[in-house]
Amino acid sequence: MIGLIGKKIGMTQIFDANGKVIPVTVIKAGPCKVICKRTESENGYVAIQLGYEEIPERKVTKPLQGHFKKYNSGLYRFVREFRPSYGQDIDQINIGDELKADLFGEYETVSVSAKSKGRGFTGVVKRHGFAGFISSHGSHESFRGGGSIGQCAQPSRVFKGVKMAGQHGNARITVRHLTVVKVDAENGLIMIKGAVPGHRNSLVLIHKEQ
């Protein structure tokens, strides 16, 4: 799906025409430069490659410098590819074009992908929402434990996928069918209804769903 690279600014609230409060996430979307285009004949798939946030040459690896030089492009901190979905046309998008927040319209439906907040190693109560044990009537020592994780004899092992303590967060998450409430093209901001994954200033990918 065609989209933009951006950074999550934070959350706030706005009022609609009827005075109803709408919680929104503010995202600094773009501007993104089209570095190159992938084609079916040369690469086996169709996509556009976008660069976000220009940086000096000393901060770019030699292989990436060669890639940017090949397409006479600037040097960017983040490079991502966006594949068009069914019905989306990228023929009108050319190498060197700059895509901005006005790519999206108000009340348009989008998907947002980002890395969730990393919470480290957590137990089953925080990680999976387990209720824990009762605090009285014989409970002893374990109150936030996971309980039984398998059988006593057969099959003499723990099945894959059992909910246990472990790494919580810091995983790529995509939230679909979010609504763009407001677009501030002048400042490059879009406001999306509800929450999106990630911490403040984290990298997010906004995809058009239509």
Residue-wise pLDDT tens digits, 201-210 = 999 999 988 6
Residue 62, phi then psi, degrees to nearest 5 = -60, -45
Q: Which domains does the chain have, with CATH numbers?
A: 3-122+170-208 (2.40.30.10), 123-168 (no CATH)
Tell whether the model's pLDDT for residue 188 goes beyond 70.
yes
If one compares 136 and 120, the residue with the highest pLDDT of the two is: 120
Single out the residue of 142, 99, 106 nearest to residue 124, CA to CA.
Answer: 142
Tens-place pLDDT, residues 138-174: 788 888 888 888 888 888 889 999 999 999 999 999 9
Q: What is the pLDDT of residue 85?
A: 79
Q: Which residue has the tokens 């992908």?
A: 113
| Per-residue confidence (pLDDT) for residue 210, from 0 to 100 | 67
Q: How far apart are CA 146 and CA 127, in angstroms?
A: 11
Specify the higher pLDDT residue, 155 or 78: 78
Task: State the residue for tokens 């002893």.
Answer: 140
DSSP assignment of 118-178, as one string? P-EEE-HHHHH------SSTT--S-SS-----S-SSSS-SPPTT---SEEES-SEEEEEEE
pLDDT, average across residues 78-95: 82
